[in-house]
A and B are shown apart, each in its own frame.
Chain A
Amino acid sequence: MDGLTQSHTGRSGFPPAYLDRVGSSFTDFLAQAAPDLLPSRRPVPSVQAGDLTPHGTTIVSVTYAGGVLMGGDRRATMGNLISSRDIEKVYPADSWSVIGIAGAAGIAIEMVRLYQVELEHYEKIEGLTLSLDGKANRLAQMIRGNLGAALQGLAVVPLFAGFDLDAAEGATPGRIFSYDVTGGNYEERGYAAVGSGSLFAKNSLKKTWRSGLDAGAATRTVVEALYDAADDDSATGGPDPVRRLYPIVYRVDAEGAVRLTDPEVAEVADTIISERAEAERRDVGEA
């Protein structure tokens, strides 16, 4: 192929970097063509900046017989204030995977956007979808690029889950990956949680989750874990029947990633609330 010469730089067509046939990564391409658009290329102030942006909190993910579920509460906090009651912290990454984010919301949402384009870009250039492990690794590299900001209080810690189209026969197709701020990437068995309420959510899942649950029962473990996290963690929001705000839950199965509708999640949450209220009344009655 005849390389484009510098004579084209002055024209308003594609700049030369666009016609270079190197790589199928959108992030790598941006690093060449428009580095200022990359979150990891920006200078980070050398002061604590953690109070500048709202923080998102608890994300949980569980596998079930047909795939994987991920749910997140709706609260974002700035210091002791609730900055948002209806923030969305779980997003589809592509047709077969979802990503949930805990940490500095501004950077996290930008990172999710970049990650979504990254996966779609690869798909369009190569005509193939990345393997699930490839997607998980790619995300680890983006987190690693944010280490400087993380040390100034702007950490972003995602949770990644997807349906593995190449899963071996008999293996569970739903897989979950968790991360640390240095870009460490760990595959989780069964269930995982990140964010300030993750301790309580994991404790809840420890009791409610079993392998081989069906989608309905697994959805309940997700919503219940978020309820328990909200019970004990001030930065995690519980279901809000007054404003009709319920956790966001995504299901990824052989059909792809779908967001459960609000009425579906509301029904599960209302069941949990009424069962707990009933148990509480019984306790009081017996006393």
Chain B
Amino acid sequence: MTMPYYASAEQVMRDRSEYARKGISRGRSVAVLTYADGVLFIAENPSSTLHKVGEIYDRIGFAAVGRYSEFESLRVAGVRLADVRGYSYNRRDVTGRVIANAYAQTLGAIFTEQMKPYEVELCVAEVGETSEQDQLYRLTFDGSVVDEPDFVVMGGQADAVTGQLRENFRAGLSLSDALMVGVRALSASSPALSGNGDRGLLPAGQLEVAVLDRSRPKRAFRRVVGAALGTLLGDRSAGEQAPEGATHAHTPSVPQPGTPAGLGDPAAPDTAGGTAGSGEGSGPQTGPADGVGGGTDGGS
């Protein structure tokens, strides 16, 4: 396909990231938290069959937001890579870093080479022998990887949820405490609850919860569903409105216009390892560029 008009590379990249970010911001949020015995995934997801969280390998889990068909094919690719590697070498030789690198390369290639970038954001989590060895990798649509220490939040309300977690998260929480902190943070900015004035907690039916449990011998991944989830949520959810006040009443339905550092910003081309402002949407460029014909055509 030929470009009808000239568009600078910077312009094209910016348009693509704008497009991807818009797609991602429409979705509901996912939070991935470390807790005392492993890693906890909490997704706001009313469907019980179309998962946003999945198992990659023995100690590795996956969470995603954005367009389902795209992150599902990436999840499958991750499972395949892990299984081929584990089969041809050894199960111990499959690490989260390998999976995260493959995602980064693939997302980066799609972002630069295809008209339409993937509208996804991923988290690859690996549970280690001790909590110091737990790894959380956040991968964005352009292929940047960030190694996050305590938690990763992705999706439309990521900034608001991150703000909530900053205040309430502590390292080494128990499973039920971590779940409570995460659910409260997601609930505080969930569009599903924004209609009514008092913001309750998301009910179990709206949540997809899974853990990578360090104490499980081989396959650490376990979904928390049904009665187990009800028990973990139930004993606390009564009378849980106190902390949510006006502080984080943030209902962003419009995408954050900012660009993460490194994207379309030649001064910071490398985002591996993250920058101070990454994840906050606080990059230098703001505002969507006025439409230049032929920049993106969104062909999916």
By a beta-carbon cutoff of 8 Å, the part of chain A in contact with chain B is: 1-2, 4-5, 7-8, 11-14, 18-19, 21, 26, 29-30, 33-34, 37, 113-114, 117, 120-121, 124-125, 127
Contact A124 B79 (CB under 8 A): yes
Q: Which residue of A lies closest to B106 (CB)?
A: A13
Among A5, A33, A113, the residue within 8 A (CB) of B80 is A33
Contact B76 A117 (CB under 8 A): no
Complex-state Cα separation, A125 to B79, whole angstroms: 7
Among A4, A18, A113, A117, the residue within 8 A (CB) of B81 is A18
Chain B residues near A124 (CB-CB < 8 A): 54-56, 79, 83
Contact A13 B109 (CB under 8 A): yes
Chain A residues near B253 (CB-CB < 8 A): none
The 6 lowest CB-CB distance pairs between A and B, nearest first, are A13-B106, A13-B105, A18-B77, A11-B109, A14-B77, A1-B69
Q: Which residue of B lies closest to A114 (CB)?
A: B87
Contact A13 B79 (CB under 8 A): no
Contact A2 B76 (CB under 8 A): no
Contact B106 A8 (CB under 8 A): yes
Contact B79 A12 (CB under 8 A): no
For chain B residues 213-264, which have a beta carbon within 8 Å of chain A? 219
Complex-state Cα separation, A113 to B56, whole angstroms: 18
Asked if B300 is an interface residue, CB under 8 A from chain A, the answer is: yes
Given A18-B77, A21-B72, A127-B51: A30 and B84 within 8 A (CB)? yes
Contact A21 B76 (CB under 8 A): yes
Q: Give chain A nearest CB distance to B91 CB in angstroms.
A: 10
What are some 22 contacts across the A-B interface (CB < 8 A)? A1-B69, A1-B73, A2-B299, A5-B114, A7-B113, A8-B109, A11-B105, A13-B104, A13-B105, A13-B107, A18-B76, A18-B80, A26-B83, A29-B84, A30-B84, A33-B80, A37-B87, A120-B219, A121-B79, A124-B55, A124-B56, A127-B54
Chain A residues near B300 (CB-CB < 8 A): 1-2
Asked if B122 is an interface residue, CB under 8 A from chain A, the answer is: no
Given A19-B74, A19-B77: A14 and B106 within 8 A (CB)? yes
Given A11-B106, A21-B73, A124-B55: A117 and B80 within 8 A (CB)? no
Count B interface residues, CB 8 Å: 35
Complex-state Cα separation, A164 to B109, whole angstroms: 45
Complex-state Cα separation, A29 to B80, whole angstroms: 8
Given A1-B73, A19-B73: A14 and B102 within 8 A (CB)? yes
Asked if B270 is an interface residue, CB under 8 A from chain A, the answer is: no
Complex-state Cα separation, A174 to B70, whole angstroms: 40
Q: Which residue of B lies closest to A116 (CB)?
A: B87
Complex-state Cα separation, A132 to B93, whole angstroms: 30
By a beta-carbon cutoff of 8 Å, the part of chain B in contact with chain A is: 49, 51, 54-56, 69-70, 72-74, 76-77, 79-81, 83-84, 86-88, 102-110, 113-114, 116, 219, 299-300
Q: Give chain A nearest CB distance to B62 CB in angstroms.
A: 10
Chain A residues near B49 (CB-CB < 8 A): 127
Given A37-B88, A127-B51: A121 and B77 within 8 A (CB)? no
Contact A13 B108 (CB under 8 A): yes
Chain B residues near A33 (CB-CB < 8 A): 80, 84
Complex-state Cα separation, A14 to B79, whole angstroms: 11
Contact B84 A34 (CB under 8 A): yes
Chain A residues near B88 (CB-CB < 8 A): 34, 37
Known: A14-B77, A37-B84. 15 other contacts (CB 8 A): A2-B116, A2-B299, A8-B106, A8-B109, A11-B105, A11-B106, A11-B109, A13-B107, A19-B76, A19-B106, A114-B87, A117-B86, A117-B87, A124-B79, A127-B51
Q: Give chain A nearest CB distance to B196 CB in angstroms.
A: 33
Complex-state Cα separation, A125 to B54, whole angstroms: 9
Contact A120 B83 (CB under 8 A): yes
Given A8-B113, A37-B87, A37-B88: A14 and B54 within 8 A (CB)? no
Chain A residues near B116 (CB-CB < 8 A): 2
Q: Give chain B nearest CB distance to A126 CB in angstroms.
A: 10
Chain B residues near A18 (CB-CB < 8 A): 76-77, 80-81
Q: Give chain A nearest CB distance to B275 CB in angstroms.
A: 23
Complex-state Cα separation, A34 to B49, whole angstroms: 31
Instruction: Indicate the member of B49, B83, B108 with the most A CB atoms within 10 Å.
Output: B83
Complex-state Cα separation, A270 to B76, whole angstroms: 49
Instruction: Indicate the member of B74, B84, B300 with the most A CB atoms within 10 Å.
Output: B84
Complex-state Cα separation, A114 to B56, whole angstroms: 17
Q: Give chain B nearest CB distance to A122 CB in angstroms.
A: 10
